[in-house]
Amino acid sequence: MLRVGLTGDLGSGKSTVARMFAERGAVLLSSDEMGRAMMQPGQPVYAAIVERFGREVIAGDGSLDRGALARMAFSDGRVEELNAIVHPAVIAEQARQIKKLARKHPDAIVIVESALLFTTKHGDSGQSGQPWHDRFDRIVLVTAPEEQKIARFVERAAAGRLLDPEERATLEADARARLAMQTANDAHAAECLVIRNDGDLVALLQRVSAVWRELCQVAQFEP
């Protein structure tokens, strides 16, 4: 089995790249999806978040108000408090699923999509986590110019709505603040297979296909 970490800043297009790899036969594990599942009512992670951040982060239907939680975490400088709750649980679940897949599909290429692959300080024990090179055999880094990343973030947040100038400016400022906290990727680029997402989908498909062929060669089977 080949274990591949897939990372990239907010708005880089890593989720699009992840889907392209899945279409080529990769087994995809999304850290975001795992985290969302663990943040549902009744889950230990949900309970720990409410205990730490207070009932202000609970929406009217009992679920977490993710917007309120994000504002509290990012605006109040409490991101690491949130990460210390969520990351160990997500990393432990990734390890469990990869171990299970290795028994059933030893020739698989498993891609773990994670925005904070290089920056997380929390392993599955709640202490300092394993270095990324102990968890993965290869890392794929998706990059894009900053203005494109910001534009993609704003477009996703707008969800088809027409934004007024004030709301657009607020979202752009939010994107810049988040990107300022995601500085580790460029420092590790030399250790990664880099996919630059600065053109159209055709160009991106070509770059993803080239990296997929390389991963298949490493995994010692033909695409």
Per-residue pLDDT of the chain (223 residues; tens, 9 = 90+): 999 999 998 899 999 999 999 999 999 999 999 999 999 999 999 999 999 999 999 999 999 999 899 889 877 788 889 999 999 999 999 999 999 999 999 999 999 999 878 877 665 443 444 466 678 999 999 999 999 999 999 998 888 888 999 999 999 998 888 888 776 677 788 889 999 999 899 999 999 999 999 999 999 754 4
For residues 26 and 109, is the Cβ–Cβ distance under 8 A?
A: yes
Q: Do 88 and 73 contact (CB within 8 A), yes or no?
A: no
Which H, E and C letters describe 145-171, residue by residue? CHHHHHHHHHHHHHCCCCCCHHHHHHH
Domains of the chain, earliest start first: 2-31+94-219 (3.40.50.300)
Which run of H or E residues covers position 96? helix 79-104
Q: Provide the token pair at 19.
A: 């889907």
- Give pTM, 2 decimals: 0.85
Strand order in the sheet with 138-143: 27-30, 109-113, 2-8, 138-143, 193-196
C-beta of residue 153 within 8 angstroms of C-beta of residue 10: yes
Query: Token pair for residue 88?
Result: 């160990």
